[in-house]
């Protein structure tokens, strides 16, 4: 196919103006297991699906605490994600030491995006194969950002990445308007419901998912399995009474995600160059 001629290294443009290596890196993100994030005015919740390779092994860590006020969920090459988390932790610590103040998440995200961009413009490097959902606080409240391997970043009210994330996105799109003013517990419940959408039929148990919360007055921490299972049980009972939730319908072609306030102008032509999403 056409693609194969121009996809050898990241510093080669295709005639259509695309960098295929970067797009392939975004594919790697889509292949990873799902991660979702949602925020209210004061809290951000991150959730991810944890699949262990076999019964014998432990599952991969996909949610990292970066600082008391920032956490990140990753999808894609988890090794790349780990390295980027270490970078983020370093930046936060250095800032805290110099200014005795938490690094505003908006600034960290820009630094991360600039780091990713470098890898799209050096022939001896490759793009990071991981998408990051960065949840954090700064002076203006709670924020959720998505960092792409392309070096783009966007701010979201709610978002999902990874395999079968479209189901979660559809659920979030339906509900995102209520997130701004919702309580912290309802936000966690919504996160669990969104995770359930990506499981597509499998039972939602605390052993297959991880949930983390950060908020005003609440440092970033991962909820323990017991708490998560309790919350699942609480709303599963309610769900049984109300009947099954609406089926996730997959919108063909459209990758429109809930983004009422994109930080960076997302390109209007979504179909042409996927990296601009």
Binding site for another protein (CB under 8 A): 97-101, 104, 106-107, 110, 138-140
Give the nearer residue to another protein in terms of CB position, either 103 or 172. Answer: 103
CA-based nearest residue to 132, from 211, 69, 46, 198: 46
Give the nearer residue to another protein in terms of CB position, either 99 or 124. Answer: 99
CA distance linking residue 28 with residue 32, whole number of Å: 7
Give the nearer residue to another protein in terms of CB position, either 234 or 260. Answer: 260
The least distance separating another protein from the CB of residue 115, rounded to whole angstroms, comes to 16
Helices (H) and strands (E) in the chain, counts: 6, 10
CA distance linking residue 107 with residue 123, whole number of Å: 27
The least distance separating another protein from the CB of residue 95, rounded to whole angstroms, comes to 9
Going by C-beta distance under 8 Å and a sequence separation of 6 or more, which residues neighbour residue 156?
37, 39, 144, 145, 146, 257, 258, 259, 262
Give the nearer residue to another protein in terms of CB position, either 100 or 249. Answer: 100
Give the nearer residue to another protein in terms of CB position, either 140 or 252. Answer: 140
Q: How many CA atoms lie within 13 A of 86 on its CB side?
A: 5
Are the beta carbons of 142 and 42 closer than 8 angstroms? yes
The least distance separating another protein from the CB of residue 110, rounded to whole angstroms, comes to 8
Give the nearer residue to another protein in terms of CB position, either 106 or 248. Answer: 106
The least distance separating another protein from the CB of residue 34, rounded to whole angstroms, comes to 30
Length of the chain: 277
CA distance linking residue 16 with residue 99, whole number of Å: 46
Give the nearer residue to another protein in terms of CB position, either 58 or 101. Answer: 101
The least distance separating another protein from the CB of residue 86, rounded to whole angstroms, comes to 23
The least distance separating another protein from the CB of residue 153, rounded to whole angstroms, comes to 13
Cβ atoms within 10 A of the Cβ of 266, count? 15
The least distance separating another protein from the CB of residue 93, rounded to whole angstroms, comes to 14
Are the beta carbons of 157 and 261 closer than 8 angstroms? yes
Going by C-beta distance under 8 Å and a sequence separation of 6 or more, which residues neighbour residue 219?
68, 69
CA distance linking residue 259 with residue 159, whole number of Å: 8
The least distance separating another protein from the CB of residue 155, rounded to whole angstroms, comes to 11
Give the nearer residue to another protein in terms of CB position, either 104 or 127. Answer: 104
């Amino acid at each position: 196919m056409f693609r194969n001629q121009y996809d050898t290294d990241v510093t080669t443009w295709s005639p259509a103006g695309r960098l295929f290596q970067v797009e392939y890196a975004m594919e790697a993100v889509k292949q990873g297991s799902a991660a979702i994030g949602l925020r209210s005015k004061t809290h951000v919740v991150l959730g991810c699906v944890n699949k262990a390779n076999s019964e014998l092994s432990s599952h991969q860590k996909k949610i990292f605490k970066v600082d008391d006020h920032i956490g990140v969920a990753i999808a894609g090459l988890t090794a790349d994600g780990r390295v980027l988390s270490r970078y983020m932790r370093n930046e936060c610590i250095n800032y805290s030491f110099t200014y005795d103040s938490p690094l505003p998440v908006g600034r960290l995200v820009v630094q991360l995006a600039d780091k990713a961009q470098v890898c799209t413009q050096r022939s001896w490097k490759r793009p990071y194969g991981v998408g990051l959902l960065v949840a954090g606080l700064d002076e203006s409240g709670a924020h959720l950002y998505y960092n792409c391997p392309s070096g783009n970043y966007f701010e979201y009210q709610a978002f999902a990445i990874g395999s079968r994330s479209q189901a979660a996105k559809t659920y979030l799109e339906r509900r995102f308007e209520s997130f701004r003013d919702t309580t912290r517990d309802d936000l966690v419940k919504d996160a669990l419901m969104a995770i359930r959408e990506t499981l597509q039929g499998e039972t939602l148990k605390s052993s297959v998912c991880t949930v983390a919360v950060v908020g005003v007055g609440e440092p970033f921490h991962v909820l323990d399995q017991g708490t998560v299972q309790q919350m699942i049980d609480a709303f599963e009972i309610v769900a049984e009474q109300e009947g099954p939730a609406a089926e996730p319908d997959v919108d063909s072609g459209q990758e429109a995600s809930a983004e009422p306030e994109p930080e960076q102008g997302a390109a209007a032509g979504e179909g042409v160059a996927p990296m601009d999403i």
